């Protein structure tokens, strides 16, 4: 995919694309049909493998299904009709049993979970690599002095290692949230009671129809490698948690991008983006090399919270046993948020991998800020009195003597990253 209004969208590839969503919906239908057969509800002649069923709908059908979706309000209705038509006489029993016991929301919500899981898996893989990059960067620059800035002004001395460690903590926290996500099936039938499944089980002679309906859910979840959960038609925590985790990621990348944007200004020049031929040019000013990666990552960080807000608003507006409008507003918000997070993840990884650090410029800026950057230290000395530490070296560099726990912050990131869970605690 590509988008003129979202440069870099192709980095997300097929993840959570319309074609991927169609494929996921077909997977759900195939898994449920197999579960009906395994439970003895559907005729064994209804069996059709997922690859075969997937061959009846794909990327070429996106336009047609999108247009047909308007009449029913969702893409599942025309997809089921299309699959039944294409199953035709060759798979007549499968066409008859396809989708029985399900409702549109079951199929679409479960498919959204499948697509979201794939997108988050890519983000998690990227975060792991990015954290490794920041660990190395922080360790290599634990003694690289620079000025800390607060409210845009010079504050006190710090190190670039401590700044990189702070970036790393943000990414590690985001990784924790992403790892904690659950991806449940949504299988509740028309009103979230599995009434049709129970009735099908009863009509086909099940000794315990309720238990049989439960096994349908379990078998489908197992086939899709998703979690079992009671129907959540109007309990949207699985979706809001997804949105929140993705925003936590874009927040963390945005913070890094903002720092790079500030520190790569020509008058600061302490950092620079990776040098790539043809990137960062201006349409009219040939002297410019714009920090494009940071700009695009910041763009994602600025737009992601609004998409998540739509998901939360939809959750708060859920009503009855299945909502009208609120549920529908979730789909594009979640799809767009997930794709944009994947794109930002790729761009942030490239930014960090090739980030150029200029220690000499950092040191020069810090020294030029003297004596102001040590004003806090001097005020404390005036309050308490001269140091009586006999080991204190009066000839030592005063800038290295007011770094607090900067070195330990680097060590903490290294320790966290080396933990068995990869820093899964905070």
> Cβ(115)–Cβ(24) under 8 Å?
yes
Class of domain 9-360: mainly alpha
Percent pLDDT > 70 in the chain is 94
Q: Taking 60 as the threshold, does the pLDDT of residue 423 lie above it?
A: no
User: Biggest alpha carbon distance in the chain?
Assistant: 94
Q: Taking 60 as the threshold, does the pLDDT of residue 425 lie above it?
A: no
pTM of the model: 0.94
Rounded mean pLDDT, 231-257: 97
User: Nearest to residue 241, comparing CAs of 373, 337, 145?
Assistant: 337
Q: What is the pLDDT of residue 283?
A: 54
Q: What is the DSSP letter of 258?
A: H
Q: Does the annotation count 322 as an active-site position?
A: yes
What whole-number distance in Å separates Cα of residue 209 and Cα of residue 6? Answer: 50
Phi then psi for residue 264, to 5 deg, are -100, 0
User: Nearest to residue 231, comparing CAs of 314, 322, 319, 313?
Assistant: 322
Q: Does the annotation count 283 as an active-site position?
A: no
Q: What is the pLDDT of residue 388?
A: 73
> Cβ(165)–Cβ(416) under 8 Å?
no
What whole-number distance in Å separates Cα of residue 294 and Cα of residue 255? Answer: 10
User: Nearest to residue 172, comparing CAs of 142, 133, 144?
Assistant: 133
* Cα dihedral 362, 364, 368, 373 in deg (nearest 10): 40
Q: What is the pLDDT of residue 275?
A: 80
In the three-class reduction of DSSP (H, G, I as helix; E, B as strand; rest coil), residue 304 is classed as: helix
Assign residue 49 a region (left: φ > 0; alpha: ψ between -120 and 50; beta: otherwise): beta
Q: Which residues pair with 154 in a beta bridge?
A: 149
> Cβ(264)–Cβ(272) under 8 Å?
yes
The catalytic residue among 124, 248, 298, 322 is: 322
User: Nearest to residue 305, comparing CAs of 260, 232, 369, 248?
Assistant: 248
Residues 6 or more apart whose Cβ sits within 8 Å of residue 162: 138, 142, 403, 406, 407, 409, 410
Segment among 69-78, 182-191, 287-296 with least mean pLDDT: 287-296
Q: What is the pLDDT of residue 426?
A: 47
In the three-class reduction of DSSP (H, G, I as helix; E, B as strand; rest coil), residue 159 is classed as: strand
Assign residue 151 a region (left: φ > 0; alpha: ψ between -120 and 50; beta: otherwise): left
Structure tokens at 322: 């299945």
> Cβ(188)–Cβ(103) under 8 Å?
yes
User: Nearest to residue 291, comparing CAs of 301, 281, 280?
Assistant: 280
Average pLDDT, rounded, for the chain? 93
At 296, the pLDDT band (50, 70, 90 cuts) reads very high
- How do the domains of the chain map onto residue ranges? 9-360
How does pLDDT run across 338-390, given as a tens digit for each residue?
999 999 999 999 999 999 999 999 999 999 999 999 999 999 988 988 777 66
The catalytic residue among 2, 3, 282, 387 is: 282
Burial (Cβ within 10 Å: 0-12, 13-18, ≥19) of residue 307: buried
Q: Which residues pair with 184 in a beta bridge?
A: 227
Q: What is the pLDDT of residue 287?
A: 58
């Amino acid at each position: 995919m590509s988008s003129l209004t979202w440069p870099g969208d192709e980095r997300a590839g097929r993840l959570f694309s319309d074609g991927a969503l169609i494929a996921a919906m077909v997977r759900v239908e195939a898994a449920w049909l197999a579960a009906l057969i395994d439970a003895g509800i559907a005729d064994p002649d209804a069996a059709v493998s997922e690859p075969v069923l997937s061959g009846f709908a794909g990327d070429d059908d996106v336009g047609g299904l999108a247009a047909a979706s308007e009449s029913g309000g969702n893409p599942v209705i025309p997809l089921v009709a299309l699959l039944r038509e294409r199953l035709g006489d060759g798979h007549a029993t499968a066409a008859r049993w396809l989708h029985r016991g399900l409702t549109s929301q079951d199929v679409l919500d479960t498919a959204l979970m499948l697509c979201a899981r794939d997108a988050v898996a890519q983000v998690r893989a990227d975060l792991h690599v990015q954290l490794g990059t920041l660990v190395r960067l922080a360790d290599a620059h634990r003694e690289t002095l620079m000025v800390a800035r607060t409210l845009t002004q010079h504050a006190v001395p710090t190190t670039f290692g401590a700044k990189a460690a702070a970036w790393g903590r943000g990414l590690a926290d985001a990784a924790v949230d992403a790892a904690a996500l659950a991806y449940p099936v949504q299988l509740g039938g028309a009103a979230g009671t599995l009434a049709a499944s129970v009735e099908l089980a009863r009509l086909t002679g099940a000794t315990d129809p309720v238990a049989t309906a439960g096994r349908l859910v379990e078998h489908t979840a197992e086939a899709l490698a998703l979690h079992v959960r009671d129907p959540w038609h109007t309990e949207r925590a699985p979706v809001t948690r997804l949105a929140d985790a993705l925003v936590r990621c874009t927040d963390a990348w945005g913070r890094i991008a903002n720092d790079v944007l500030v520190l790569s200004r020509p008058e600061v020049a302490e950092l620079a983006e990776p040098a790539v031929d043809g990137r960062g040019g201006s349409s009219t000013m040939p002297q410019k090399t714009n920090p494009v990666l940071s700009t695009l990552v910041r763009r994602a960080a600025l737009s992601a919270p609004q998409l998540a807000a739509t998901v939360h608003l939809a959750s708060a507006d859920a009503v009855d046993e299945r909502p009208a409008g609120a549920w529908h507003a979730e789909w594009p918000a979640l799809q767009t948020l997930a794709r944009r997070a994947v794109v930002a993840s790729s761009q942030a990884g490239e930014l960090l991998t090739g980030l150029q650090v200029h220690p000499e410029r950092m040191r020069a800026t810090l020294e030029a800020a003297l004596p102001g950057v040590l004003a806090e230290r001097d005020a404390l000395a005036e309050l308490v009195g001269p140091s009586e530490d006999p080991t204190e070296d009066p000839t030592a560099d005063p800038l290295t003597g007011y770094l607090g726990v900067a070195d330990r912050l680097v060590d903490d990131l290294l320790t966290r990253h080396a933990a068995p869970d990869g820093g899964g605690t905070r």
